[in-house]
Amino acid sequence: MDFFLCVIGMVMVVEGVPYFIFPDKMKLWVKAMLAMPESSLRGFGLVIMLVGLVLVYLGRT
């Protein structure tokens, strides 16, 4: 459980960095994402999840 909480914390840090450093550009990115079709967002999310799973697999072996 400690490892899981550490990983979640690190993800939150990495996800928060762009909002802290580039808040103006993040607003533009969010607006662009709102204009994208849901199928594109789902496809992008799937790719990101698969890449994440591969990285976890490589990191654990």
Q: Are 6 and 13 in contact, with CB atoms under 8 Å apart?
A: no
How many C-beta atoms surround the C-beta of residue 29 within 10 A? Answer: 13
**pLDDT tens digit string along 15-61?**
999 999 999 999 999 999 999 999 999 999 999 999 999 988 998 88
Domain boundaries, the chain: 23-61
What does the pLDDT read at residue 11? Answer: 93
Question: What DSSP designation does 22 have?
Answer: -
C-alpha span between 48 and 23 (Å, rounded): 22
